[in-house]
């Protein structure tokens, strides 16, 4: 498996992963994502993809000026294999300050993942998908 920058032809694969992973984690707030929506949501962001023999299996998008991890999703069929951890490390290596992110409170699996990597919950709010918590990476990145 390798991590590299997204190519335009891979947007559809990332959109499918985002939709599948989001809907698996948050079935009460389902989303439909296509390649155009994915492109809109990640404009001005660095998008990294995890690629294995079967193609794109996960991605992360980072708004680098704020060290903000906007998206980190792994295909639900390949979760639990270290792909998210690899994407998190690669994301942290590409910013100048500790990563921050928002995570839906209902996404308990993602919150446990970030806690395992030393992220601290530092605030909360809500949006059209429900309540979220802001997370801050430790100074070392993860």
Residue 112: CATH number of its domain:
3.40.630.30
Q: For residue 141, is it within any domain?
A: no
Is 42 domain-assigned?
yes
Taking phi first (over 0 means left), then psi (-120 to 50 degrees means alpha), and beta for anything else, what does residue 67 get?
A: left
Whole-number average pLDDT of the chain: 95
pLDDT band at 140 (very low <50, low <70, confident <90, very high): low
Q: What's the confidence (pLDDT) of residue 54? A: 80
CA distance 126 to 116: 24
Q: Is pLDDT at 139 greater than 90 in this prediction?
A: no
pTM, to two decimals: 0.94
Tell me how far apart the alpha carbons of residues 70 and 48 are, in angstroms, rounded to a whole number.
Answer: 12
Number of separate domains in the chain: 1
Helix (H, G, I), strand (E, B) or coil at 111: helix
* DSSP single-letter state for residue 6: P
Q: Taking the CA atoms of 7, 10, 15 and 18 in sequence, report the sign of the dihedral they define.
A: negative
> Above 70 in pLDDT, residue 93?
yes
* Range of the structural domain that residue 122 is part of: 2-136
């Amino acid at each position: 498996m390798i991590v590299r920058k997204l190519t335009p032809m891979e947007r559809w694969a990332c959109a499918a992963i985002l939709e599948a992973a989001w809907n698996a984690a948050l079935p009460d707030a389902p989303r439909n994502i296509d390649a155009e929506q994915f492109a809109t949501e990640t404009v001005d962001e660095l998008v990294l993809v995890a690629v294995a023999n079967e193609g794109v299996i996960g991605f992360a998008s980072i708004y680098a000026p704020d060290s903000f991890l906007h998206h980190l999703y792994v295909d639900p069929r390949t979760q639990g294999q270290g792909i998210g951890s690899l994407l998190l490390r690669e994301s942290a290596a590409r910013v100048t300050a500790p990563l921050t992110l928002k995570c839906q409170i209902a996404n308990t699996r993602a919150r446990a993942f970030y806690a395992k990597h030393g992220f601290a919950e530092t605030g909360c709010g809500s949006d059209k998908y429900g309540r979220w918590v802001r997370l801050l990476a430790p100074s070392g990145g993860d």
